[in-house]
Amino acid sequence: MRCPYCRVDNDKVIDSRTGQDGFAIRRRRECVHCGRRFTTYERVEEPVMNVVKKDGIREPFNREKIKSGLKKACWKRPVSDDQLEAIVADVENDCYANFETEVDSAYLGNLIMKKLRELDQVAFVRFASVYREFKDVRDFVHELQPILAEAKRSPK
Ligand SMILES: [Zn+2]
């Protein structure tokens, strides 16, 4: 670290302490050149994930927004709040594991749909219809055919 007094880059750490919250370390340093002391702080960088929308606009990853979308899709369906929380947590973990700072909204949407589809078919269809913004009913039917066929094969 460069000394703030004499600008020489040669110092030794004489004391290190972790801050009360555990997210920062304070270091007392002594400049080997001029002998003066100064302090540096090392902090955890808050993870920031942005969602890149189709039009290129970025907005912060918002778990509450995802959850409220899921809640709407699951209205009057036998899905518990815990199950929705689990989906949100899965989705969040996946994004932070696979992306550094930005995730594509299409990736995010598909991920949510995949999880929802495993959980509840009706909720999945509702979510997909809002999310995909189907241009006409044929697109919608086309998209749903494989799911409906699957549902027929394995009735619950
Ligand atoms: Zn110095």
pTM across the whole model: 0.61
Confidence of residue 14 (pLDDT cuts 50, 70, 90): very high
Residues within 5 Å of ion ligand 1 by Cβ?
A: 3, 5-6, 31, 33-34
Q: Measured at the alpha carbon of residue 58, what is the angle toward residues 56 and 62, in degrees to the nearest 5?
A: 140
Q: How far apart are the CA of 24 and the centre of ligand 1, in A?
A: 24
Q: What is the pLDDT of residue 27?
A: 95
CA–CA dist 107, 61 (Å, integer): 13
Confidence of residue 150 (pLDDT cuts 50, 70, 90): low
Q: What is the pLDDT of residue 152?
A: 63
Strand partners, 41: 26
Q: How far apart are the CA of 49 and the centre of ligand 1, in A?
A: 39
Q: How far apart are the CA of 36 and the centre of ligand 1, in A?
A: 6
CA–CA dist 5, 115 (Å, integer): 57
Residue 148: count of CB within 10 angstroms of its CB: 12
Q: What is the pLDDT of residue 135?
A: 55
Mean pLDDT of all residues belonging to the chain: 86
CA–CA dist 6, 36 (Å, integer): 9
For the chain, give the percent of residues with pLDDT over 90. Answer: 55
